[in-house]
Structure 1
Amino acid sequence: MFARTHHGWIGLDIGASNVKLAQVVRRGDRLVLENAAVVPRNVVWQEDNLAEAPAVSAAEEIAAALVTAPQIAGRQAAVLLPSTACQLNTAPEANDHGQVTAIVEGLAAVGIRLEGRVFDFWPALPSKRGEHTVNVLSTGRGWPETAVADLQRSKLSCQTIDGVPHALARAVSHVHPPGPHPVGVLNWSFTSATFVLVDQGQPVYVRSMKNTSLARALVDVAQQLDLEFDEAGELLRTVNLAPHPAMPQDEVAEVLSELLEPTIKSLVAEMEKTLEHLHNLGKNMTPKRLFLAPQTVYLLGGGATLGGVDLLLTQRLRRQVRIWTLNDESESVAAARGVPLCLLGQAIALSALRWEAAT
């Protein structure tokens, strides 16, 4: 039974290049986006590993997002820590009483110390040797403390702090109900691409893809075409990566496709490695899981705004790649706000946590 409240929490996705806000309402058994905003960061984070770095405030961007979306209801919020501020590892599974010790000692053995960090853990896929493992997501204490303080500056009450793996799993579960086979979700963002295998609603496998940063492509486009960084981003949204053979691209479109190709090749190569690993892992599991490598992958993030990217990746990966979307009504609301809905998947999932917390 859902809570009586009509509105979800204020979902805030703190990213490296922007802050995304979303709030949903529940209409019957459907979630519908009601309000949204995307605010560019004052300073874009170029680094890809900030877990041990001093936390960076997003208070100004959060305040700007609230001004941009003035019809927000309530003051309760859920916030997503940036992926660049978190580190994901696997550790041996132990009994309930010894799990934390097993995590600390297991990661210390490979040079990863958790002193001064906060961390969460949950079940993962077995290792190649069949050993039971857990995923461990950690970050410096300063990041969640700064997130709470940032919300308080805008008179928001922080209800929960989430990490990318679970936010992506929730986002895909809203559009692809859990079934007998896992589903994949790929968040292709400014700093990197993160793949999550979702099994029965849980993020059982997480991998950060190397050399897949959209920033790399944006810099190339800006330099080659003598554009400002923001202009390059707007231009990339006009590209069609899977044009119809009977409708040849113009010169600018051809240049854009060529400049994007190295990043796309890296993404495809990383995905192929991941899918092969999952296929082999599933064959060796007891009982065998021949469909552990997902046949469907949902795409979110800035990379999902590239025209035709779903068709291109479907062709190259030989499985269905779909742009994440909630429903037509939410698409209309996002379009009216000038925001692609595929940028808001994690913020929407955060907003919908209002009803999970009430059950």
Structure 2
Amino acid sequence: MGGTTEGGTTADAGGTATSGDEVLMRTGGRYVEPGGEFTRDQRYIATRITADARDGWPVEPGRYRLAVSRACPWANRLIIVRRLLGLEDAISMAVAGPTHDKRSWTFDLDPGGRDPVLGVERLAEAYFARFPGYERGITVPAIVDVPTGQVVTNDFGPMSLDLSTQWTAYHREGAPDLYPERLRDEIDEVSAALFRDVNNGVYRCGFAGDQAAYEKAYHRLFDRLDWLGERLAGQRYLVGDTITEADIRLFTTLVRFDPVYHGHFKCNRSKLAEMPVLWAYARDLFQTPGFGDTIDFDHIKRHYYEVHRDINPTGVVPLGPDLANWLTPHGREALGGRPFGDGTPPPPPPPAERVDPAHTPLP
């Protein structure tokens, strides 16, 4: 592992970078720089929380707080993994609102606009507590050390893998193996292709600075989606016969495709609902405990359409699409597979972490 499974590099401090779902607004609040391809700078705070504490941060239940926004696909991965593994009691979760300004994500959903555990209004405060004058994007997901109020890491690639491999002593009984050792090479290979062409590919379309860059990203995206459709036509999951980290990484992009990426990012060759295999696959996962019950479509749409004002100057949020079809039968059970392997589904989320049913058709 180590933060490079998605083609990125890591760093501890300094420099200027963009990461996660929050592209640092370089000038005048713009996300799109005219004249070329969108490039995601993948330098993150590379600190690891491990069982042997080799970076100075030991696995310790109750010590850390996972900061997320339900709008962000990268943070959504961590929400799903934490939920499937049953780590809610070991790692608490701070949920930022769906929008942010140039300064930071804010905890405006909490009473008084302040996270009740960290005691901060903005996630930036945790970054500055560790790195005064921090110059890079204040991104989610991030893990914060509660006693010191310092950010530990925002390196979202290895963060989710570490929850699977380093926090095993605190997994729930029946937790699935999302990163089985015998399949790790294949999971890493598939995940790298997903990141390059799909997870980051939709952003390369949406933030392209000229026609040529957009068309290149567009073709890479849909070529890869076609490849995924072919792969999944005869097997229920991406790698092996159970849900793995690769499925989680694809799902968080697919679930945002029709509400956001198809229109807002001009990924409009086909809607997800017009790609039969991927649409059935996405519905299968959405209806699986731990997936659909983490999704807040209202937060997702508000984030992209309200924050990216150089793409959507009015900030108007579309009312569609109709979301009820996420609960229609998918028929993927016919392909076999065991969603949780030898494990069991997670129980319902804690009451404080349940998504507003007015925002999402819950399975």
TM-score by shorter chain over 0.5: no
TM-score w.r.t. the length of structure 1 is: 0.30
Bigger radius of gyration: 1
Q: TM-score, normalised by structure 2?
A: 0.29
